[in-house]
A and B are shown apart, each in its own frame.
Chain A
Amino acid sequence: MTKIEAIIQPFMLEEVREALKNIGIEGLTVSEVRGHGRQKGHKEIYRGQEYQVDLLPKVKLELVVPSSRREEVVGALIGGARTGKIGDGKIFLYHVRAAIRIRNDERGEAAL
């Protein structure tokens, strides 16, 4: 099993969810996060005063999928989240040793 963590632009969330739904992936965790990579922050001017916005708002998605579906899911994430501009985000993959459904103690991929 693979855990996929994706940091994406907030306004692409619906498109990504739709792309995942289209390939049958419906379970995921969504968090509101802030940060920056190469995009860094930007300057904002309000009423003549300049403010530095260092951490930019992003959305983090976390999902665990069978390793056999990893590339398919990554493809859907890229397809849904890409605008081609700086700030589109990143995807990270992790190996998952085990998954357990708390309700009935199911184990492995059956618990996903």
Chain B
Amino acid sequence: MSAGSPPEPEREAFLATGDAACVLSARTARVQELVRAAYEQALAPAFPRGLAALAVGGFGRAEMFPHSDVDLLLLVEQEPRAQASRDAAALMREYFLHARAVHRAAEAAMEASESAESGLLAQYRDWRSRLSNADFSGAGDRVYFKAPQQLGHDPELAFRWFEFVARHGIRPARDSERRVAEQAAALAEHCASSRGGWRMLEGILSLPHVALALRGMHASGLLRALLPDWERVECLAVRDFSHRYTVDEHTLVAIQELAAPAGAQDPPRQRLAGLWQEVGQPAVVLFALLWHDAGKFTGLAPHANESARLADSALERLQAPREVRRVVRFLIERHLDLHQIMLRRDLDDPSTARLLARRVETVERLKELTLLTYADISALHPEAMTPWRLEQLWGLYVLTHNELTRELDTERIDASATASPELAEFLEGLPVRYLRTQGEEEIQEHYRLWQLANDRGLACEIRKRNGTYSLVVAARDRPFLLASIAGVLAAFGMNILKAEAYGNRSGMVVDTFAFEDPHRSFSLNPSEVDRFRLTLERVAQGRSDLGRLLESRPKPSPSGGRPRVQPTVAFNSEASPTATLIEVVAQDRPGLLYDLASTISAAGCNIETVLIDTEARKALDVF
């Protein structure tokens, strides 16, 4: 049902006479029909009397052109009840559902006309379509199912199709979207009964063209099949003058703003694009963004808690890990904080950064929340993210980032109230940041390793997770310990992505590393993991010569030329009464952490706390 094309008799009359007036009045009549139906459905039950709807503007003059707005004036006899705004929202929802149908019909027509194109553009599009595979084929920069009938037997095919779209950035063909839409009921049934939905969705959300894929999943109804509560925000209009779009459109635009692969041009946006590259779990941030306004369907404010509840319920159904659920809940519940703080608090007042640092707790959460805020504001309307606001947001991020890194060492855990005396001994004196950055499961794991290390002097655990490895080492602290661990990783050719080190009151340390295995030594030769563990224990206890080990390590290929990142080293003696904070930014390379840590140790300094991160090829190290 749509008002997209003129009815047949009027169309023929127009083609015969060239008189547009009859087409315009016919369009108006059809729109009126739709408005009447929506009125009967959404408003008449709530207002059996005392309400009038007047057609105004082009609609009132019966001159509706293809791009005309539908202007309606609603007059109420008495002061409307609180329910009235929700009734009006229901009417607007009907309107947007029809508007969307018109939009899609127009897109389908344009796609059909594109196929008739010829020339260089068409050749380029056909060249791109060479990315076809066994299931999908591309033509004219669109990707199609090769055998759409397979969707009936293999519902996962639809998800693989959108994964293909998200990976390669080729637009899904409308016809294929229609095929998916026809299978919506079967797909919903499949999603409800299948396990591991999170892993599949996470895969799509982690790919570069995720915004394009999500838009297609939304248009084809696949998103609703996978996440039934998504239906609540479809075409949902909210009475908020700062929002130009319906909630679903606002959400998709926000995701596009954040995850669009097109490079940002202006420096402030480039800084945020760089921050996006640093985020460890982009899929988690995008999932939070997908649900951040879902709670608006209630029509009640504030909506964040309801949005978080819906997101959590969706993640439970998708069987997402507990940590993912925790982060998503946090991001949604706090998604308005930065916007409110940057407009309502004095950023020059140190208490502002302290307040936000206490709320976000870690640098990672700060980055995620900053990006979510950027996307949310940018998607209000095209001019919403002014350079002024962008600067305010970045300023707040920088201040809070500095506050979080400054307090690396200053605040320590007082574990006297902890129920278990042994656990209290482990936690006592660790930086407060430890509790913020580690989940309950990680703390239990570290505690177990700490108990082992108390007997053996050192205990470690290596795990593979999402294509990278995590290494946790618990050991009695001694000079060059961090350098030794970093050196063994370098000797085995591993590339350190993140590292953190925490020391407690009794002189034990817990060092955590995330690293890549670029030569695939561990996966191709599993016994290498045991050899690594053994080597680590021997080196850390001074029973093996690290220098000799490093001489035989795989040599990095020479990159040639000057490093792309100009190295900087900053010392801050005022960050802590007992320690000096050293912040190093440099071109990342194998063995860098070993070189830095061994240089600091060789100077007779004790490394208390470490925060290592890498951003593309840039290493950001804080000691």
Q: Which of A9, A46, A48 is close to B346, meaning CB atoms less than 8 Å apart?
A: A9
From residue B212, how far is it (CB to closest CB) to chain A in Å? 32
| Residues A48 and B388 in contact in the complex (CB < 8 Å), given A11-B343, A87-B348 | no
Answer yes or no: A45 CB below 8 A from chain B CBs.
yes
| Residues A11 and B568 in contact in the complex (CB < 8 Å), given A32-B386, A49-B585, A57-B388 | no
CB <8 Å contact, A46 and B388: no
CB <8 Å contact, A83 and B346: yes
Stretch with Cβ within 8 A of A (4 or more), from B331-339, B395-403, B409-417, B494-502: B395-403
Answer yes or no: B134 CB below 8 A from chain A CBs.
no
* Complex Cα gap A48–B569 (Å): 7
Answer yes or no: A107 CB below 8 A from chain B CBs.
no
Pairs across A and B, CB under 8 Å, 19 listed: A9-B346, A10-B342, A10-B343, A11-B346, A14-B344, A32-B388, A34-B391, A44-B395, A45-B570, A46-B401, A47-B568, A47-B583, A47-B585, A48-B570, A53-B395, A57-B391, A83-B346, A85-B346, A87-B348
**Which B340-366 residues have a C-beta within 8 angstroms of A?**
342-348
From residue A81, how far is it (CB to closest CB) to chain B in Å? 12
B residues contacting the other copy or chain, number (CB 8 A) = 23
Residues of A within 8 A of B343 (CB): 10-11, 13
Residues of B within 8 A of A32 (CB): 386, 388-389
**Which A8-54 residues have a C-beta within 8 angstroms of B?**
9-11, 13-14, 32-34, 42, 44-49, 53
CB <8 Å contact, A46 and B398: yes
Besides the contacts A9-B346, A48-B585, what 15 more A-B pairs have beta carbons closer than 8 Å?
A: A11-B344, A11-B345, A13-B343, A32-B389, A34-B391, A45-B402, A45-B570, A47-B568, A47-B585, A47-B620, A48-B570, A48-B583, A57-B388, A83-B346, A87-B348
Residues of B within 8 A of A34 (CB): 388, 391
* Complex Cα gap A48–B402 (Å): 10
* Complex Cα gap A45–B395 (Å): 10
* Complex Cα gap A10–B352 (Å): 14
From residue B89, how far is it (CB to closest CB) to chain A in Å? 27
Residues of A within 8 A of B401 (CB): 46
**Which B560-574 residues have a C-beta within 8 angstroms of A?**
568-570
From residue B298, how far is it (CB to closest CB) to chain A in Å? 26
Nearest-neighbor residue (CB-CB) of B615 within chain A: A47
**Which A57-112 residues have a C-beta within 8 angstroms of B?**
57, 83, 85, 87
* Complex Cα gap A9–B347 (Å): 10
From residue A56, how far is it (CB to closest CB) to chain B in Å? 9
Residues of B within 8 A of A57 (CB): 388, 391-392, 395
CB <8 Å contact, A48 and B584: yes
* Complex Cα gap A97–B477 (Å): 78
Please classify how large the interface on chain A is, using the bins under 10, 10 to 19, 20 to 34, 35 or more: 20 to 34
Nearest-neighbor residue (CB-CB) of B402 within chain A: A45
Residues of A within 8 A of B347 (CB): 11
Residues of A within 8 A of B584 (CB): 48
* Complex Cα gap A33–B389 (Å): 10
* Complex Cα gap A53–B347 (Å): 13
* Complex Cα gap A52–B622 (Å): 22
| Residues A44 and B398 in contact in the complex (CB < 8 Å), given A10-B392, A57-B388, A57-B392 | yes
Which of A45, A46, A53, A85 lies at the interface centre, i.e. has the most chain B CB atoms within 10 A of its CB?
A46
From residue A49, how far is it (CB to closest CB) to chain B in Å? 6
**Which B474-518 residues have a C-beta within 8 angstroms of A?**
none
Nearest-neighbor residue (CB-CB) of A10 within chain B: B343
From residue B617, how far is it (CB to closest CB) to chain A in Å? 15
| Residues A48 and B398 in contact in the complex (CB < 8 Å), given A9-B346, A32-B388, A83-B346 | no
Residues of A within 8 A of B342 (CB): 10
Nearest-neighbor residue (CB-CB) of A13 within chain B: B343
Residues of B within 8 A of A45 (CB): 402, 570
Residues of A within 8 A of B345 (CB): 11
* Complex Cα gap A34–B391 (Å): 10
Which of A9, A32, A46, A47 lies at the interface centre, i.e. has the most chain B CB atoms within 10 A of its CB?
A47
* Complex Cα gap A53–B620 (Å): 23
| Residues A48 and B568 in contact in the complex (CB < 8 Å), given A11-B346, A57-B391, A57-B392 | yes
Nearest-neighbor residue (CB-CB) of B566 within chain A: A49
From residue B619, how far is it (CB to closest CB) to chain A in Å? 11
Closest 7 A/B residue pairs (Cβ): A48-B570, A32-B388, A48-B583, A46-B398, A48-B568, A11-B344, A47-B585
**Which B500-542 residues have a C-beta within 8 angstroms of A?**
none
| Residues A46 and B402 in contact in the complex (CB < 8 Å), given A11-B346, A13-B343, A87-B348 | yes
* Complex Cα gap A83–B342 (Å): 17
* Complex Cα gap A15–B398 (Å): 26
* Complex Cα gap A47–B392 (Å): 18
* Complex Cα gap A22–B344 (Å): 20
* Complex Cα gap A91–B205 (Å): 50
* Complex Cα gap A88–B402 (Å): 25
From residue B613, how far is it (CB to closest CB) to chain A in Å? 10
* Complex Cα gap A54–B391 (Å): 12
* Complex Cα gap A48–B343 (Å): 27
Residues of B within 8 A of A13 (CB): 343
* Complex Cα gap A34–B569 (Å): 31
From residue A19, how far is it (CB to closest CB) to chain B in Å? 15
